């Protein structure tokens, strides 16, 4: 994984009325809320009864006026269409639709399928989550091009203190372990424990601003089967022809009834709390907009941002916006380039997502010193490159010497501070070994 740690915190939950359709009464101060994003990976296109399971869940939630997010696999959508299940499609349509890859466990899994869901459900999928453990930063770039702004899933690849975060141009509702506590145990006997855990999560989230976000997921098929549809067909890289697909074994009817009751009871229970509010993926995006986009950065902002990377490249969280290490690089580089090009009156804006570098950076073993003239040329090259690629360069070149972007960032930050305090550039610039500190938020690759 090469785009390690180019992430930032999602600010903005304090705006608690952002997803309410009606305005808050004027004199009532907004209380911290627990927002609950309830989502269903709707993926089993083999066992026909899983269609009914999805329909039952969707209809129940509609009856409860709870809008959930159904992340549907492209092939599941097409299968519903082929089976003539307009009733299931209609029930799911009452909720928000997300994308859960094209074929999930049958290779190749990811694209296309997005356009099929748009046609079948009459709404553009608002979010994506990977099939199984197939997380990759490249997906974020593709999703952003498709207009998808939310990554909704639960795993450990990348995470920021159990809260939603921005990464790769998307709001990531990812690695929020609270919701996992409310998941059913193997025999679905833990409803009372789940309720107690919810009460604890609710009290914690609503006791102080800005409140919290709970991400809770299920799969419609898990209510009725004994084993996942893909586990019985596609385990360990198996890729049998459709004619050879096996139906997963089902649980007895009374057992699946217990499973549905687990969800239904839990939803009614969560709904009974006055400051708990169900939200869909796109509503979470409204709660956590990326307020750094198109925000003009002032000299005061630059003064605050520049020292943030002194101890190594990491994100910066300001009062009402946040920047990834890559966005800090763009802002500071634009600031210095504006002065060098004598165009410092131009507004410094982030108009595009800045992705992390595409491969591992070169190593810098000891500090190097460059003249201002050498630094200036590297800086203008970097400005052009950022403008063209919208990606942090793998290396910044000083003549024939390559330095890692995090070392370059620390040097640019130092130059900003000097320019602001002395109104002239330094005669020499030291580029020293530095770390991508924010990499600690990304899991190590396993062998």
Chain residues in the site for Zn ion (CB under 5 A) = 41, 43, 131
Report how far apart, in Å, the C-alpha atoms of 209 and of each of 30, 33, 168, 206, 320 are: 9, 8, 27, 7, 14
> Would you say 221 or 410 has its CB closer to Zn ion?
221
Q: What is the rounded end-to-end Cα distance, in angstroms, of the chain?
A: 12
> 151-157: long-range contacts (C-beta < 8 A, 24 or more apart)?
151/127, 152/37, 152/39, 152/69, 152/71, 152/98, 152/127, 152/128, 152/215, 152/281, 153/129, 154/129, 154/179, 154/180, 154/215, 154/217, 155/130, 156/443, 157/1, 157/442, 157/443
Residue 230 C-beta: closest distance to Zn ion, Å: 8
Structure-token match 């630059």, residue found: 302
Residue 71 C-beta: closest distance to Zn ion, Å: 8
> Would you say 43 or 327 has its CB closer to Zn ion?
43
> Would you say 41 or 154 has its CB closer to Zn ion?
41
> Would you say 98 or 131 has its CB closer to Zn ion?
131
d(CA 42, CA 104): 10
What are the two backbone dihedrals, phi and then psi, of residue 86, each rounded to the nearest 5 degrees? -65, -20
> Would you say 44 or 301 has its CB closer to Zn ion?
44
d(CA 101, CA 143): 11
> Would you say 130 or 280 has its CB closer to Zn ion?
130
Residue 43 C-beta: closest distance to Zn ion, Å: 5
> Would you say 3 or 76 has its CB closer to Zn ion?
76
Residue 121 C-beta: closest distance to Zn ion, Å: 18
Q: Residue 147 corresponds to which tokens in the numbers above?
A: 């207009």
> Would you say 41 or 51 has its CB closer to Zn ion?
41
d(CA 410, CA 314): 10
Shortest CA distance to 363 belongs to which of 413, 405, 409?
A: 405
> Would you say 128 or 315 has its CB closer to Zn ion?
128
Residue 443 C-beta: closest distance to Zn ion, Å: 19
Strand 396-398 vs strand 401-403: parallel, antiparallel, or unpaired?
antiparallel
Whole-angstrom Cα Rg for the chain: 25
What residue number has its CB nearest to Zn ion?
A: 41
d(CA 83, CA 235): 26
> Would you say 43 or 290 has its CB closer to Zn ion?
43
Residue 218 C-beta: closest distance to Zn ion, Å: 11
Residue 72 C-beta: closest distance to Zn ion, Å: 10
Report how far apart, in Å, the C-alpha atoms of 262 and of each of 66, 191, 223 are: 16, 6, 10
What angle in degrees, to the nearest 10, is found between the helix axes of 191-206 and 253-271?
20
Residue 282 C-beta: closest distance to Zn ion, Å: 20
Residue 151 C-beta: closest distance to Zn ion, Å: 14
Residue 251 C-beta: closest distance to Zn ion, Å: 19
């Amino acid at each position: 994984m090469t785009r390690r740690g180019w992430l930032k915190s999602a600010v903005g939950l304090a705006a608690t009325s952002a997803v309410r359709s009606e305005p808050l009464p004027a004199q009532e101060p907004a209380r911290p809320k627990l927002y609950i994003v309830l989502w269903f990976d709707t993926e089993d296109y083999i066992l026909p009864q899983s269609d009914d399971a999805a329909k039952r869940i969707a209809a129940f939630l509609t009856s409860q006026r709870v809008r959930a997010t159904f992340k549907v696999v492209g092939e599941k959508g097409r299968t519903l269409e082929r089976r003539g299940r307009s009733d299931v499609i209609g029930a799911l349509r009452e909720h928000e639709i997300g994308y859960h890859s094209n074929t999930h466990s049958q290779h190749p899994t990811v694209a296309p399928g997005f356009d099929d869901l748009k046609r079948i459900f009459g709404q553009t999928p608002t979010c994506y989550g990977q099939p199984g453990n197939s997380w990759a930063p490249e997906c974020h770039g593709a999703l952003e091009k498709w207009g998808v702004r939310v990554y909704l899933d639960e795993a450990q690849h990348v995470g920021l203190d159990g809260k939603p975060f921005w990464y790769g141009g998307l709001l990531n509702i990812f690695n929020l372990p609270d919701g996992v506590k409310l998941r059913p145990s193997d025999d679905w006997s833990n409803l009372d424990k789940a309720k107690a855990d919810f009460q604890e999560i609710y009290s914690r989230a609503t006791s102080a601003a800005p409140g919290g976000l709970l991400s809770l997921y299920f799969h419609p098929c898990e209510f009725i089967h004994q084993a996942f549809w893909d586990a019985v067909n596609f385990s360990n890289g198996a890729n049998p022809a459709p004619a050879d697909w096996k139906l997963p074994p089902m649980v007895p009817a009374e057992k699946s009834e217990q499973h549905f009751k687990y969800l239904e009871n839990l939803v009614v229970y969560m709904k009974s709390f006055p400051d708990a509010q169900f939200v869909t993926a796109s509503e979470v995006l409204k709660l956590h907009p990326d307020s750094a986009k198109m925000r003009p950065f002032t000299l005061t902002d630059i003064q605050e941002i520049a020292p943030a990377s002194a101890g190594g490249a990491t994100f910066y969280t300001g009062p009402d916006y946040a920047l990834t290490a890559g966005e800090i690089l763009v802002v500071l580089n634009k600031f210095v380039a504006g002065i060098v090009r004598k165009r410092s009156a131009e507004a410094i804006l982030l108009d595009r997502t800045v992705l992390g570098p595409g491969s591992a950076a070169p190593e810098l073993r000891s500090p190097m010193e460059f003249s201002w003239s050498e630094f200036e040329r590297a800086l203008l090259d970097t400005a052009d490159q950022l403008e063209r690629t919208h990606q942090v360069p793998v290396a910044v070149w000083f003549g024939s010497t390559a330095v890692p972007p995090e070392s370059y960032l620390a040097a640019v930050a130092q130059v900003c501070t000097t320019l602001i305090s002395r109104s002239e550039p330094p005669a020499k610039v030291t580029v020293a070994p530095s770390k991508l500190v924010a990499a600690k938020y990304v899991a190590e690759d396993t062998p």
